[in-house]
Amino acid sequence: MAVHPSGSYSVIGGGGPRPYAKDVNRLISSLVPTGKVFCQDDFEAATLKWQNTGGTTARDTTAYMPFMGTACLEVTSPATINDQNITRRRFSLPRNKTLGLEFRFLITDLTLMKIIIALDMYDGSQVKTAEFQYLPADEKWQYAGVPFGWDDLPGGSQPVWNVEAHQHIKFVADFDNLRYSYLCIGGNVIDMSSLAFDSRSNTSDPYLSLQFTVRTYENVAKSMFIDDLILTSEEVMIA
């Protein structure tokens, strides 16, 4: 359970303190942030601010796909085995580097090869990478550790998805100290405070990149649906 800066406990994605209501109320949201919001997207606006490589990325207004409102983001792979769609959005670096990402997630087909969720921070000399992947066939999550590679989460397999059921996902990471804090999957909070993520040399101009990747096992396009996304800074780490 995360501790809010006010000192009270807050259920991640549920009730509790709402210190940034002015920012939150501008968009449809079923989530209550525990940090300072610097990006929120409910995908209701007709123009998307996301870019993609491979496959297609578009607003989806099909009934029951959005969690709230009338639209969500559909990220669809190419119809080629092992090919992928990388959908990203870039931001200026926030002053505080303890970041949180949360959103609602839906998949309708468990034959996807994998889904990857990544925050990459380019600070002018390094790129710092906090990433998670979900493997539907194995019903488990993995995180990107040190050296960069995929490791199982503490506690082993984490079966979380039923077809056509929205899931709440949130993770918090400290990019100054290259440490994870926690991953929340459908209300189950996994303590990751003892785990680190990697960095490597990169002299790109500073920015923060949020990426979603979907890859398919078949010569058939596969999709994931994202709604109610909130990106925050000034999060509280699990001690």
What secondary structure, in 3-state letters, does 10-28 show?
ECCCCCCCCCCHHHHCCCC
State the chain's maximal CA–CA distance in angstroms: 51
Q: Model confidence at 24, in pLDDT bands (50, 70, 90)? A: very low
| CA-based end-to-end distance of the chain | 11
Residue 45 CB contacts under 8 Å (≥ 6 apart), including other chains: none
pLDDT digits (tens, 9 = 90+) for 166-194: 888 999 999 999 999 999 888 788 899 99
Note whether 86 and 105 are within 8 A (CB).
no
pLDDT digits (tens, 9 = 90+) for 30-52: 676 778 888 899 999 999 999 99
Q: What are phi and psi of 86, to 5 degrees?
A: -110, 115
Beta bridge partners of 9: 3
Domains of the chain: 39-233 (2.60.120.200)
pTM: 0.84
Q: How far apart are CA 7 and CA 169, in angstroms?
A: 23
pLDDT of residue 35: 81
pLDDT of residue 7: 31
What is the pLDDT of the chain when averaged over all its residues?
Answer: 83
User: Would the pLDDT of 124 be above 90?
Assistant: yes
Q: Model confidence at 20, in pLDDT bands (50, 70, 90)? A: very low
